[in-house]
Structure 1
Amino acid sequence: MMANLEAKSYMTPWQLAIVVFVTCVGAQILLSPRSLIADAEHGAGISVVIGGVLFYSATCLMLVLAKKYPDETIVEYAPRIFGKIGGTLVVIWFNMLFFLQVIQIFYGMGKIITFYMFDRTPPEVVILALLAVCAYCAVQDWGTIMRIQQFMFFVAYSILILVWLTSILNLQPENLLPLWPVNIKAVVGGGLSTWNMYAGYECVLLLMPLVYRQVSLGSLIKIMGASFGCLIVLFLLVIVIIIGVLTVDGAKNLLYPALIVIRSVELPGTFIERLENYLLIAWIPVVFDTLAAMMFFMGEICMRHWRQADHRPWVLFLVPIIYVGSILLDNQQVYEMANKFTMWLGLAFSFIAVPLSLSLSWWQKRKAGTGCG
């Protein structure tokens, strides 16, 4: 049983689906659109759908793998599948995915908040303040974090989407043409690059032991499909509105096009100005939720790997490492290189490490069955 959990330690499939949704969305609705539109251009919306289907498939494979070891997380069964050294490398790989995402999100969030809200505050100070708040949440038990995620899902996301939908007022449908992309290869490549938008679904390999046992694999797959369906719709909404307001050429030449889109909105008959600040106010709790969960996952992985009873010392140990990693991404070029590296690391984990784990697991169980026979 996972340490540091409250009495109500089990999750329903719908709670797991909410955790995946909230963890995936995070910062990427503001950080990722520019690079995707630059790669896929008018086909960026199709890339979002391709990516959603692709990473939903990867999540289904992870659910199948996790169901084979219902009482354990990947930290426990990876060494049995790959051996002690190989399993340790897989666990490090798994944890690195969360670490690299966390430092990139802190860097991007610090830069956005500094530029649009506190222009006289150094990004390092903003990152430090955010890190302290996220660390405080991450040292809580999973039951507390899960309740915060559920609250954010129903409140913060509703406000965020409501504010974002006001930008439809400036949408020009002709900017979306042509609907069918010319460069199919770029669209497919864009589908792979959406990993940064959907990343976070890997948490199912850590949380599955908490899901009620009587829930069938088929039900889990269907419910997770609903979560990914919502993710696809949300990301499509973001991409379509950005292109519809700014055009492809305009969007790919701006660092954070979503904020420029919302800044241009004027609500007639109201005194509301600078809508991008309202968007950021709704976005910050969303990102906080994602970062706190990922920091918890990192601490939990370390705790389980070293067979300790508490994840909190590990979270505190990781805080200065995360801070240093975030400020080392000191310019956009370094950030984009780290982003690309993380994407390929995540793709390889989902489509090489996980299928290989499943294959070896089936082979080992078949071999054990043959030996018994």
Structure 2
Amino acid sequence: MAQKLEQQLKELGSKLHSPPSSKDALLKLLKQAATCLSELDQSPPSTTVESMQPFLNAIVKPELLKHQDRDAKLLVATCICEITRITAPEAPYNDDVLKDIFHLIVGTFNGLSDTNGPSFGRRVVILETLAKYRSCVVMLDLECDDLVNEMFSTFFAVVRDDHPESVLSSMLTIMVVVLEESEDVRDDLLLILLSALGRKRSDVTPAARRLAMNVIEQCSGKLGAGIKQFLISLMSGDNHFVNSEFDYHEVIYDVYCCAPQILSGVVPYLTGELLTDQLDTRLRAVRLVGDLFALPGSTICEAFQPVCSEFLKRLTDRVVDVRMSVLEHVKNCLLSNPSRSEAAAIILIIIHGF
């Protein structure tokens, strides 16, 4: 069996050295190659590696690696992913070729949104291979920063509720590995991640939001300082680097839901917003803290007592809209959980406040 595969790979490498001009003929060869490679184990005998060499050289020739046909590109990417699996942990190509390879691989992820498409299965295999063998780390070694940004953006754009669990977990694994293995998380990458947060975003799917929250939860130690500084900059008025869709109050809400410890340095600024004379900011802060306050099982009053205390003091705010917003959130909170530990204190504040 092994000798037969070796012979097939030799022949395929020879035929692909000068690829056929016919698309159908080319696709047939690439499909045969993908099948052969999938049957090889990782770290095969030296005789197998030797027999693969003509094919390894042929598959990264510019006319294949940068082929314009969508189907051919996908099959080339499939073959190369199999090669990286077989040769792992060794990199089978030099840095320049590897950069082109990762551009090709990341480009295949755009098609993951079409779960019913004929090529969906191949794209999933490529994704799973990248996750399983952690070959995405090589992108960091190659300093492919823009490509990493593109990959994260693509995942958030294509992820769907009806994706198989293997797709969701592979996307999560790749993003977590890239972040954890990065020396520093760049601001532009952090912005891509935080831009997927928010309950009211019209341009972000619920699946993308959950993916971003899962990434933050798993990488809270790595991301904590950056997210904290990012939010503090926005709350201090430095918002030139975000678009109009970006709502930092919504980001704070989602971060609290997945990694509340990150917000320890942000809370004093939120307390300041509850005290500000700017009505719009004060009202938005009241709504945010109220939403956090009303979350089932919320411990915001224990974890962040000053902001909770100031929120309840807004029951006597001079502006009716602010008072009504606090009262509505408190009512919802008490109705959903009358036995919460601070219920009696809240009722006393309401009685004395009014």
Q: TM range, normalised to the smaller chain?
A: under 0.3
Q: TM-score, normalised by structure 1?
A: 0.19
Higher normalized helix content (fraction of residues): 1
> Which structure has the bigger radius of gyration?
2
RCO comparison, higher one (Cα < 8 Å, 6+): 1
